[in-house]
Amino acid sequence: MRASTDAPPLATERRGWDAAVRPLVDGGDGWLWRRHSDAINGALVARWLEPAMQARVLKTDLFDEAMGVGLAPLLGTRARRIAAIDIAPSVLRAAATRYPDLDIVAADVRQLPFADASFDAVVSNSTLDHFRTRDDIRTALAGLNRVLRSGGRLVLTMDNLRHPGVALRNAIPVGWLKRSGLVPYPIGATLGPRGLARMVRAAGFDIVEMDALLHCPRALAVRRARTHERFGNGSAQRRFLERLGRWERLARFPLRFVTGHYVGILAQKP
């Protein structure tokens, strides 16, 4: 794992993020919900990232790999080399322990330490929706475009501002959310499907496909998952995951961009 040199504001942000996520990483709970989340994200990546081996793929954060299985095993079937970045030291350590073969770099997605056209594909699942402003999202997208080769693919998911729960959460003052304990990590700016598509195009990408995912009532599902972790047996936990999976049938209907917690975009660099 290579270290990066941070400017003072970035170093401060890194410490803030680490303070927020370290208790989650060290606590080790939430594994049942992570299993569902990994399955949903994995299905999207498997559909949008070609089975043919890519020379090099970049993953824009390692929280999933620090908290559970994540996408690393799936990406290993799609790439000869996988580079992955994160800003939080606790996440980097946990992911490096679980996946020592990854090329792990301590870096911010807005300041990518890679040469132009270094990657055949980028997978960014719920990374860019943790910044304070939409300008940060634009900066990150421009950097992802820079490091992708011509014809390279971007698989991107972000919180869906058209989802009523996401819109309500983002409208609540950050201080109140933090004090309530409802959201244990910083909430960032995000967009709905149309706004995100416009921003991705403005960054120089062509949109190949869009979708919505994670259609279950997330807040309730996370709480129920914790109960099943503590008190449920293996059979009950499997049935719970099966019930959660059925919610994804809503992706077939016209209101999928209202019911889906995340909006997904498959984009390509011309």
Dihedral pair phi/psi, residue 71, rounded to 5°: -105, -5
Please, what are the domains in the chain?
A: 8-268 (3.40.50.150)
Between 40 and 51, residue with greater pLDDT: 40
- Is 50 a residue whose pLDDT tops 90? no
Can you give the pLDDT at residue 204?
98
pLDDT band at 51 (very low <50, low <70, confident <90, very high): confident
Q: What is the pLDDT of residues 89-116, one digit of tens each?
A: 999 999 999 999 999 999 999 999 999 9
Rounded CA gap, 270 and 259, in Å? 31
12-38 pLDDT tens trace: 788 888 888 888 888 877 899 999 999
Average pLDDT over residues 66-81: 96
Q: Give the pLDDT confidence score for residue 183 in this predicted structure.
A: 65
Inter-CA distances, 235 with 229, 231, 238, 239, 243, Å: 12, 12, 5, 6, 13
Question: What does the pLDDT read at residue 174?
Answer: 67
pLDDT for 228-269, tens place per residue?
999 989 999 999 999 999 999 999 999 999 999 999 999 999
Q: Which whole-number Å values give the CA distances from 136 to 109, 143, 167, 190, 208, in the listed order?
A: 10, 11, 19, 10, 23
Distances (CA, A) of 258 to 43, 88, 162: 20, 32, 6
Q: What is the pLDDT of residues 143-157, one digit of tens each?
A: 999 999 999 999 999
- Signed CA dihedral, 230, 216, 178, 110: sign only: positive
Mean of pLDDT values over 216-223: 93
SS3 77: coil
